[in-house]
């Protein structure tokens, strides 16, 4: 499975099922690094997301039969291998659609939508304009945010169940104040709505370019500030409140010449703080912007990992601001081993439990 196919799949998950899954969690952050398992997630932040996805795909490259649906996956270009994580839903019970009784091989499978179940953006997701590859998503661009028309073209889609191919006319427009290197708006023939289409292969040279190309000063919203700290031999999740957003911007984004990291997959990052952010104009809510102790900002905005080196001093200044100027609530984590009974577990295979105690 190619990197481009993976990106097609990752950007094609139906929002309906994301929302359904989100109801089960108080936090629904789609982040590179989750601080409740910080050490384990460092590799994920540095590019392991795609390795994990490939492993999932390898386990799923076969026809899996259960009580209600056949799951058929293939490595043919543009078919279900690229769409299996895209058009379906994550099972609500931890297994297949059999109330959790399906084998573990099914746990990472999702249902591929029938052609008639898809939105027009899901049917004709891949769009190439002037050599740039965009992926349409089910996020609408308000009419007053739509800029100049760029071009009109024909886009293609494929029904992975029948191998039938389809074509549709589409008009591509700029999004006001957003670089076309990052995203555009697409209007399909017969549909009056404008959909966001994003370029996951966008690679800025500097932090300043990233800020300007996405108009982040006006489009980025800071939500939660979280960290993990060790105290008295135990790990604690820390949530900061009362942060001044202008001060946060000044501390993190002042160095517009900060260089983008070219070899992010080869680095290990000493993560310190994770910020939940929104960029709703392009369809991102509760995404990650993380700060490492060794001076890096990392984010997965535009669907692929990006890192910028702002320097250790700047990173430590930001961490110090949170520690000294914001209110911190600590949640103590106790990963204790469950009592051994000699019997096989019929439920979760996790070897520990977690309890949280609020510390002021």
Give Rg (Cα) of the chain.
Answer: 22
pLDDT of residue 337: 55
CA pair distance 317, 293, nearest whole angstrom: 10
Q: What pLDDT does 8 receive? A: 47
Output phi, psi for 255, to 5 deg.
Answer: -85, 85
Question: What pLDDT does residue 181 have?
Answer: 97
- Would you state the pLDDT for residue 9? 46
What pLDDT is stored for residue 322 in this prediction? 97
Taking the mean position of all CA atoms in its chain, how far away is CA 227?
Answer: 19
Are 97 and 112 in contact by the 8 Å Cβ rule? The answer is no
Q: Measured in Å, how far apart are the chain's first and last C-alpha atoms?
A: 48
pLDDT of residue 11: 44
**What digits encode the pLDDT tens for the residues 177-203?**
999 999 999 999 999 999 999 999 999
Q: What is the pLDDT of residue 336?
A: 53
pLDDT confidence of residue 331: 84
pTM for this model (two decimals): 0.68
Low pLDDT (below 70) residues in the chain: 1-109, 333-360
Residue 18 three-state SS: helix
Residue labelled with tokens 């059999």 = 98
Tokens of 138: 């089910």
């Amino acid at each position: 499975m190619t990197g481009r196919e993976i990106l097609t799949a990752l950007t094609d998950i139906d929002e309906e099922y994301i929302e359904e899954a989100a109801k089960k969690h108080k936090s629904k952050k789609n982040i590179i690094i989750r601080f409740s398992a910080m050490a384990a997630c460092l590799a994920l932040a540095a590019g392991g997301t795609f390795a994990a996805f490939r492993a999932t795909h390898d386990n799923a490259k076969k026809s899996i039969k259960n009580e209600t649906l056949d799951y058929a996956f293939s490595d043919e270009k543009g078919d279900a291998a690229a769409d299996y994580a895209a058009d379906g839903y994550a099972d609500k019970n931890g297994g297949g659609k059999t109330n959790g009784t399906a084998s573990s091989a099914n746990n990472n499978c999702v249902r591929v939508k029938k052609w008639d179940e898809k939105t027009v953006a899901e049917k004709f997701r891949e769009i190439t304009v002037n050599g740039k590859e965009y992926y349409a998503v089910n996020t609408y661009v308000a009419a007053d945010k739509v800029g100049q028309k760029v071009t009109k073209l024909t886009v293609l889609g494929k029904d992975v169940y029948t191998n039938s191919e389809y074509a549709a006319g589409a008009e591509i427009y700029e999004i006001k104040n957003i670089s076309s290197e990052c995203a555009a708006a697409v209007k399909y023939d017969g549909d009056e709505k404008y959909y966001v289409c994003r370029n996951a292969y966008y690679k800025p040279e500097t932090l300043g370019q990233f800020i300007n190309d996405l108009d982040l000063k006006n489009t980025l919203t800071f939500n939660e500030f979280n960290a993990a700290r060790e105290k008295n031999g135990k790990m604690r999740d820390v949530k900061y409140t009362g942060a001044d957003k202008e001060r946060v911007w000044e501390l993190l984004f002042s160095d517009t010449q900060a260089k983008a990291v070219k070899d992010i997959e080869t680095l290990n990052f000493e993560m310190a703080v994770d910020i939940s952010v929104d960029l709703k104009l392009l369809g991102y809510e509760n995404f990650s912007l993380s700060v490492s102790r060794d001076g890096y900002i990392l984010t997965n905005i535009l669907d692929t990992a990006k890192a910028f080196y702002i320097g250790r001093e700047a990173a430590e200044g930001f961490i110090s601001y949170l520690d000294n100027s914001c209110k911190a609530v600590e949640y103590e984590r106790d990963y204790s081993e469950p009592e051994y009974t000699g019997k096989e577990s019929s439920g979760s295979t996790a070897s520990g439990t977690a309890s949280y105690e609020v510390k002021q």
